[in-house]
């Protein structure tokens, strides 16, 4: 029964119905009078699952029917409601949201309402109808259409052209750069005058304009569509039914033609990945913009002070004066500077210096000379120009709900010229470091990834659990703003211990000192603050400097392992016979190390996972840090994978399947738009297969047949949408295992290299002894078997 005032009968069509001992449902397609622009229709499914039914079978049949209609109508809104009794549709389709959260019959919740939108409805209980023993439910719409989620935005843009680039090159070719050096008193004035001249030339040569962007604005809305829209509005105002129907028909016809033209234009960009991805993103709204919370000037000031809170204990400016007998041996060539300028991404945001990346890229030959002189002067003096150390902090919300200042992630916008300079200095630093430095730091290093860190951690734990009376404790440490707590003077001493030259250490010390930063939210900017602690998140050198700052954070006992990936630190304690002395001493030593190095442990976010397969398990005393007990969890998201205390992968598989099913919606929209199978396959590999196969070498070998079927079900659904065969996850797992093993074998400095030992014949690898299937099915054992059989 559908209310005629909401949707007339001409726009109501039965889609499908079924009646069996396990499931009864009726599916109806409606086109109401009012519908948000992003939906083409509403498909309502009324469901009844009897109490004695085979619930799992009924849910699979219902999910299959809904999935087929989602493929046929990807832009429709789906509502599934009814009496589910013991069933829960989220078990087979985790992407759905259940909107009824109160008991509907006695003390049980039997009636459900599912949609694919988190806040679609607000459910209120009402009295039963007649003699029914179920409550009636009032669903109040809470969905907010995209057009009203965000106001139109204005932004200033430069209108670049080949002529403007040619004019700028001619201008810089005839510039007397030596004049700026002769007239300047120091390197700061020299650099400021050069940057100011470049900005002035850009302002005079490149015209600027203002662009107004509307939410939900589509690029296929061309002049013909706007004309058809105006004609329809005129016909509606005239109250002439026949004219309105004709104008409405012409509008739909024009929109279809415009979409077809835009689709062809996107497919022609297949060899240009960026342009093609922009088109796909526009069609699917895959990476839709999230609305920014309301901001004020006081919020900018509060955030700036909050981000500078670690500087209070280090207000004294570090001494960056070199010894008199030290002469810098580090110089950069004009060819190196020109090469890095030509690699600049011209679409990156302009830094505080106001020099666009497009200027550096298009005028690399003209600007390389003057900036090479500035860079070499900076290295010889061990002084970084002040304009290179300026940073604009652009806070990014960590989640959709903002409750405190800590919910804003600071991202530093620094000058693009400075980033090119940092890359040159990074090459100097890396060339002076040994390959064996900090082997268990898996971030920012060649041939290291999260896969390696997870595989090594699991192998250490599983190998230890093979022994009798053993268990493993894993402490996942969380630091508060780790990059912002680097103390330059401590880093300077560590760099000298690593063998870096005194001049380079002094340059780094000066680079981290007297840094000015402001916070910008929208059009509001805070007052500047000068910092002498930390490295901005956004600088090229920051990740490397943090890795060198923490290189001496290593395990002090052979029964413990400290695995690091950037600022994610994991302490793995291999416990035997219940003796946790070494593990607890390791945690205590880590706490003291953090205090000595100005790092703040966030005990509230630090978690512990205990893996214990013994039959007689005792009570595990919690770990305490600074007097606070660390929370023990049953599962933890470790470097992108959900690690459970029983080392099974059901939790991870469920999360992965849910996320992949959400991405299938975008694939259906592309299919509905008429994209070719080649484009659909590319989108699947980038947006869906990447989710299903993330770190697959570390967990797929230990998954159950049920888990693999759940994953492969997503692949089969994508195959039906695309209309072609896709590679199976088993084949992808096998190829990636072989590729990963081959890279480890070739890298003698890899911490897992020693596990791949050739037999005397030189043709096969020595198998690792294992007693349980948990260890036998893990990555290194599987990789060795694949290598020996391939």
CB 336, CB 369: distance < 8 Å:
no
Q: Is 581 strand, coil or helix?
A: helix
Model pLDDT for residues 469-500, shown as the tens digit of each residue: 999 999 999 998 888 889 999 999 999 988 88
CB 18, CB 31: distance < 8 Å:
no
Residue 352: both structure tokens together: 């505080």
pLDDT at 74: 79
pLDDT at 407: 84
Computed over every residue of the chain, the mean pLDDT equals 88
Using the 8-state DSSP alphabet, how is residue 600 labeled?
P
The yes-or-no verdict on residue 324 having pLDDT over 60 is no
The yes-or-no verdict on residue 526 having pLDDT over 50 is yes
- In angstroms, rounded to a whole number, what is the distance separating the alpha carbons of residues 632 and 624? 11
What φ, ψ does residue 120 adopt, rounded to 5°? -75, -40
pLDDT tier at 71, thresholds 50, 70, 90: confident
pLDDT at 317: 45
Q: What is the mean pLDDT of residues 664-668?
A: 89
pLDDT at 781: 94
pLDDT at 171: 92
The yes-or-no verdict on residue 147 having pLDDT over 70 is no
- In angstroms, rounded to a whole number, what is the distance separating the alpha carbons of residues 229 and 250? 9
Q: What is the mean pLDDT of residues 242-265?
A: 89
CA distances from 332 to 113, 379, 560 (A): 65, 9, 43
In which residue are the tokens 């734990």 written? 461
pLDDT at 631: 93
The yes-or-no verdict on residue 717 having pLDDT over 50 is yes
Residue 388: both structure tokens together: 């290179």
pLDDT at 294: 60
Q: What is the mean pLDDT of residues 220-245?
A: 86
Rounded (5°) CA angle 366-370-374: 150
Q: What is the mean pLDDT of residues 134-148?
A: 83
The yes-or-no verdict on residue 41 having pLDDT over 70 is yes
The yes-or-no verdict on residue 349 having pLDDT over 70 is yes
% of the chain residues with pLDDT over 90: 53
Kindly give, in sequence order, each residue whose CB lies less than 8 Å from that of residue 736, ignoring residues fewer than 6 positions away. 693, 696, 697
Model pLDDT for residues 602-636, shown as the tens digit of each residue: 999 999 999 999 888 888 899 999 889 999 999 99
Nearest-CA neighbor of 614 among 423, 442, 466, 763?
466
pLDDT tier at 325, thresholds 50, 70, 90: very low
Q: What is the DSSP string of 25-45?
A: EEEEEE--SS--TT-S-EEEE
Domains and CATH numbers, the chain: 9-141 (3.60.10.10), 153-284 (no CATH), 297-437+502-532 (no CATH), 649-789 (no CATH)
pLDDT at 149: 66
Model pLDDT for residues 94-129, shown as the tens digit of each residue: 888 999 999 999 889 999 999 988 888 999 999 888
- In angstroms, rounded to a whole number, what is the distance separating the alpha carbons of residues 575 and 469? 9
- In angstroms, rounded to a whole number, what is the distance separating the alpha carbons of residues 270 and 103? 53
% of the chain residues with pLDDT over 70: 94
- In angstroms, rounded to a whole number, what is the distance separating the alpha carbons of residues 396 and 414? 16
CB 656, CB 714: distance < 8 Å:
no
H/E element, 203:
helix 187-205
CB 495, CB 321: distance < 8 Å:
no
């Amino acid at each position: 029964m559908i209310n005629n005032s909401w949707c007339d009968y001409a726009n109501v069509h039965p889609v499908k119905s079924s009646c069996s001992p396990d499931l009864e449902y009726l599916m109806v397609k409606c086109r109401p009078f009012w519908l948000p622009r992003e939906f083409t229709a509403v498909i309502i499914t009324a469901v009844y699952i009897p109490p004695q039914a085979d619930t799992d079978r009924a849910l699979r049949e219902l999910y299959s029917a809904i999935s087929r209609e989602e493929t046929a109508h990807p832009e429709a809104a789906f509502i599934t409601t009814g009496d589910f009794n013991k069933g829960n549709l989220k078990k087979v389709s985790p992407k759905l949201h259940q909107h009824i959260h109160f008991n509907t019959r006695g003390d049980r919740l039997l009636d459900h309402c599912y949609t694919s939108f988190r806040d679609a409805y607000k459910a209120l209980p009402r009295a039963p109808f007649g003699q029914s023993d179920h409550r009636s439910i009032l669903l109040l719409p809470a969905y907010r259409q995209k057009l009203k989620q965000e106001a139109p935005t204005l932004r200033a843009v430069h209108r670049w052209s080949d002529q403007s680039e040619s004019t700028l090159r001619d201008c810089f070719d005839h510039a007397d750069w030596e004049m700026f050096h002769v007239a300047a008193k120091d390197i700061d004035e020299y650099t400021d005058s050069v940057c100011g001249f470049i900005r002035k030339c850009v302002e005079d040569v490149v015209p600027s304009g203002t662009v107004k962007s509307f939410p939900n604005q589509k690029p296929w809305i061309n002049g013909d569509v706007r004309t058809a829209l105006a004609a329809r509005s005129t016909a509606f105002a005239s109250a002439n039914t026949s004219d309105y129907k004709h104008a409405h028909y012409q509008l739909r016809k024009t929109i279809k033609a415009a979409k077809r033209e835009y689709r062809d234009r996107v497919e022609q960009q297949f060899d240009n990945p960026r342009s093609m991805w922009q088109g796909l993103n526009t069609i699917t709204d895959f990476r839709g913009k999230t609305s920014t919370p309301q901001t004020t000037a006081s919020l900018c000031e509060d955030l700036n002070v909050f981000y500078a809170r670690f500087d209070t204990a280090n207000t004294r400016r570090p001494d960056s004066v070199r010894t008199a007998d030290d002469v810098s041996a580090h110089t950069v060539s004009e060819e190196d500077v020109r090469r890095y300028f030509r690699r600049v991404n011209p679409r990156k945001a302009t830094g505080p210096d106001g020099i666009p990346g497009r200027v550096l890229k298009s005028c690399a030959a003209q600007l390389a000379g003057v900036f090479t002189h500035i860079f070499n002067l900076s290295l010889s003096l061990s002084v970084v120009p002040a304009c290179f150390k300026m940073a604009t902090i652009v806070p990014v919300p960590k989640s959709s709900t903002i409750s405190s200042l800590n919910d804003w992630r600071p991202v530093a916008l620094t000058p693009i010229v400075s980033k090119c300079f940092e890359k040159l200095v990074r090459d100097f630093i890396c060339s002076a470091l040994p390959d064996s430095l900090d082997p268990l730091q898996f971030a920012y290093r060649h041939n290291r990834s999260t896969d390696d860190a997870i595989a090594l951690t699991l192998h250490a734990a599983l190998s230890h659990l093979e022994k009798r009376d053993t268990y493993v404790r894993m402490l996942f440490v969380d630091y508060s703003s780790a990059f912002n707590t680097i103390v330059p003077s401590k880093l300077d001493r560590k760099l000298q211990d690593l063998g870096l030259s005194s001049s380079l250490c002094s340059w780094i010390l000066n680079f981290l000192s007297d840094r000015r930063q402001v916070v910008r939210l929208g059009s509001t900017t805070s007052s500047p603050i000068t910092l002498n602690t930390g490295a901005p998140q956004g600088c090229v050198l920051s990740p490397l400097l943090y890795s060198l700052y923490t290189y001496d954070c290593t395990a002090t006992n052979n029964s413990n392992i400290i695995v690091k990936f950037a600022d994610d630190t994991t302490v793995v304690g291999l416990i035997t016979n219940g003796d946790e002395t070494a593990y607890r001493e390791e945690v205590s030593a880590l706490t003291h190390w953090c205090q000595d190095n100005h790092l703040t442990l966030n005990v509230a976010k630090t978690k512990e996972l205990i893996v214990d397969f013994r039959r007689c398990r005792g009570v595990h005393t919690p770990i305490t840090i600074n007097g606070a007990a660390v929370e023990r969890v049953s599962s933890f998201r470790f470097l992108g994978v959900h690690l459970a205390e029983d080392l099974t992968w059901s939790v991870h598989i469920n999360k992965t399947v849910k996320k992949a099913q959400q991405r299938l919606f975008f694939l259906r929209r592309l299919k509905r738009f008429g994209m070719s199978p080649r484009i659909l396959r590319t989108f699947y590999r980038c947006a869906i297969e990447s989710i299903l196969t993330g770190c697959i070498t570390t967990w797929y070998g230990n998954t159950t047949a049920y888990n693999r079927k759940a994953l492969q079900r997503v692949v089969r659904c994508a195959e039906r949408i695309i209309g072609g065969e896709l590679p199976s996850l088993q084949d992808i797992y096998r190829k990636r295992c072989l590729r990963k093993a081959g890279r480890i074998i070739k890298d003698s400095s890899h911490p897992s290299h020693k596990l791949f030992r050739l037999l005397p014949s030189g043709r096969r690898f020595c198998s690792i002894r294992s007693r349980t299937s948990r260890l036998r099915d893990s990555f290194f054992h599987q990789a060795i078997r694949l290598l020996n059989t391939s």
